[in-house]
């Protein structure tokens, strides 16, 4: 593994750590705004990753996916779930849905912010414009790192921010327990169906493992295509 590959993998890990922390902090912030201070009292309304780290999902699994031979290209992980006490909400269904959506929406907002950052870099520097367009086309010339040791890593970080945040948002919106999407779906189910839904257990995990990736790709591909078209038009 070359030094450049190691640097890129470290970049991915840092972006994932930020994206997971942002996601959980958004849940905690929205719950606090709607009357539940449980997460705020536990210090979860913060981007400090230490407050959100799950040793397995945030550290072990991502690092294994990055550095073990034969691991996939798409990075995956999770943080400690944000504790929410719905009894503190004034309108339980509405407030629980808003708290749930805050996580994925924060990741979508982060991807848009990264896109704006790439647009600014591309407009300010010629090298930045070249690197941005190469990434948008799925190509990247490592020699550009030597030509611009500051712009190159900045552009790569921002582009990874787009990709990882979009995938994290889409993955969490899958309507399968224990993902965020399930918190929304369960409010729409009748009692008997809800009992079955909440007891999916291993079945839900199997569905996520075998079908989660293709479904997430279908959700993310149009958004990523639109982002790339914007970058190519610069």
- DSSP 8-state class, residue 175: S
Cβ atoms of 176 and 156 closer than 8 Å: no
Whole-model pTM? 0.93
Number of residues that make up the chain? 234
* 24 in active site: yes
Which of the following is catalytic: 24, 36, 95, 180? 24
pLDDT, block means (10 residues), the chain with 234 residues? 80 95 98 98 97 95 85 77 96 97 98 98 92 89 72 92 96 94 93 91 89 93 97 93
- Look at residue 70 in the predicted model and tell me its pLDDT: 63
Per-domain residue ranges of the chain: 3-232
Indicate if the alpha-carbon torsion angle 46, 49, 50, 53 is positive or negative. Answer: positive
Burial class (CB in 10 A: 0-12, 13-18, 19+), 112: middle
Planar angle of CA 137, 222, 122, nearest 5 degrees: 40
- Look at residue 53 in the predicted model and tell me its pLDDT: 96
Cβ atoms of 23 and 99 closer than 8 Å: no
Please report, in angstroms and rounded to a whole number, the separation of the first and last CA atoms in the chain. 33
């Amino acid at each position: 593994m070359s030094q450049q590959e190691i640097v890129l993998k470290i970049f991915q890990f840092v972006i994932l750590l930020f994206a997971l922390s942002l996601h959980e902090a958004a849940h905690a912030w929205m719950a606090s705004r709607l009357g539940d201070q449980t997460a705020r009292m536990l210090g979860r309304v913060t981007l400090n990753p230490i407050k959100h780290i799950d040793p397995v999902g945030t550290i072990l699994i991502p690092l294994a996916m990055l550095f073990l031979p034969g691991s996939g290209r798409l990075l995956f992980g999770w943080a400690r779930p944000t504790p929410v006490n719905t009894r503190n909400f004034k309108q339980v269904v509405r407030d629980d849905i808003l708290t749930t959506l805050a996580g994925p929406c924060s990741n979508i907002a982060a991807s848009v912010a990264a896109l704006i950052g790439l647009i600014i870099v591309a407009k300010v520097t010629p090298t930045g414009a070249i690197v941005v367009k190469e990434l948008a086309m799925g190509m990247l010339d490592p020699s550009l790192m030597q030509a611009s040791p500051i712009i190159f890593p900045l552009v790569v970080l921002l582009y990874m921010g787009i990709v990882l945040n979009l995938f994290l948002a889409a993955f969490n919106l899958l309507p399968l327990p224990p993902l965020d999407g399930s918190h929304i779906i369960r409010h729409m189910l009748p009692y008997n169906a809800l009992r079955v839904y909440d007891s999916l257990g291993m079945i839900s995990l199997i569905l996520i493992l075998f079908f989660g990736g293709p479904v997430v790709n279908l959700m993310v591909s149009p958004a990523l295509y639109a982002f790339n078209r914007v970058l190519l038009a610069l």
